[in-house]
A = this chain, B = another copy of it.
Amino acid sequence: MQPFVFHNPTRIIFGEGTVPQIGGEARPYGKKILLVYGRASIKRSGLYDRVMASLHEAGLDVIELPGVQPNPVLSHLRKGIALAKEAQVDAVLAVGGGSAIDTAKGIAAGAATDRDVWPFYCRTATVEAALPVLAILTLAATGSEMNGRQVVTNEETQEKFGFLSPLLHPRVSILDPTLTYTVPVNYTAYAAVDAISHLLEGYFTHGDLWTPIQDRYAEGLVKTIMETAERVLADRSDYQGRATMMWAATLAFNGLGIAGVGDVEFPNHMLEHPLSALYDVPHGAGLSVVIPAWMAFMARRNPGRIAHFADAVLGIRSGDDAAKAEQAAGRLRAWFEKIGSPVSFAQAGIPAADLERIVDKTVALSKVWKVTRYSRDDIREMYRLCL
């Protein structure tokens, strides 16, 4: 293990029927709340009414920012910051999935400074203060409900960037699995891919350390997410399945899986972000395209960790490390396809003719993220495996 600091102070309230607790939980953070959400679905389902009733009962004033998109955009985030400053809100409450929570975090950071937020995402400035963030989760995927991470797409520059700040952990996140019953089949699959990807990034890239705690943590959660995805795709209202998926996705990216494994690179996210930014592909759908390609590429270069995964998670025991890793890439690709997540540019609607343009974006991102392991040719080669 490597040295680490682990601090995750988010309070998780988990279970059916927990939404009405939001008023009481939010009240200690102030009088005026900015409510951030996406489209009309939370109004149709009645969730919006339940949240508003609880907030009003707790005596809170509510300002609203609807309109968060699945890949949230910087212009909308800036609109939220202006609103938060003008109304002088005390806290920001997201009701939604990772997009709503990430937007709430960006607003919380932006409302506490006179400067623009984009440099935080470019990692040329650091968040020094933030409003408290709270969340009610409606999609089990990104883990944003229990970490200090957020991403946003800058539409002008077509860059999807993200950063991490310990000040942006939600103070409280309410996780009611029944809120995910209405998540469509395709987004349920993309969400499973996203959660798995968060576990794989740390697992595959940490090198040759002896890390049995972190390995088994990730292996157990990946197995669980794979089993559970099939369960909820068969029955979208399976409470135990939805509950397990929701908590597994949270634990997949709450910092525990990577505590002690040293600096983690995110090559699959690096390959995916340009796809979301350029073509508005759902994040999980982009990940299911690039993950098997990255694995197949690495099977030739440095298969050790992928072979370990092949054995521990997929039960692949035959062949040398390179062969095991190659099989693991194929097996995971087939499983992504089985659950209905795309595994090629064509399936994701990404034009093969744009390859060089995508490579340009990724090379630029690799510099922002300081990932030096992959050359331009490597990156092109990995995308070729997605065609």
Interface residues in chain A, defined as those with a beta carbon under 8 Å from any beta carbon in chain B: 1-16, 18, 210, 212-213, 216-217, 219-221, 223-224, 227-228, 240, 243-244, 247-248, 251, 256, 259-260
Contact = CB atoms under 8 A, between A and B. Distances in A.
A136 to B, nearest CB: 15
B1 A240 contact: yes
28 contacts: A1-B14, A1-B240, A2-B15, A3-B16, A3-B18, A4-B12, A4-B14, A5-B14, A6-B12, A7-B9, A7-B10, A8-B9, A9-B9, A12-B259, A14-B259, A14-B260, A212-B220, A212-B223, A212-B227, A213-B224, A213-B244, A213-B248, A216-B219, A216-B221, A216-B224, A217-B220, A251-B256, A256-B256
Number of copies: 2
Contacts of A228: 212
A282 to B, nearest CB: 25
A178 to B, nearest CB: 12
Given A6-B14, A210-B240, A247 B1 contact: yes
A297 to B, nearest CB: 29
A-B CB proximity, top 7 nearest: A3-B15, A216-B220, A9-B9, A7-B11, A6-B12, A212-B224, A1-B243
Given A216-B221, A219-B220, 6 more contacts: A1-B240, A1-B244, A3-B15, A5-B11, A217-B217, A220-B220
Contacts of A6: 11-12, 14
A13 B9 contact: no
A228 to B, nearest CB: 8
A6 B18 CA distance: 13
A8 B5 contact: no
A348 B6 CA distance: 38
A14 B211 CA distance: 14
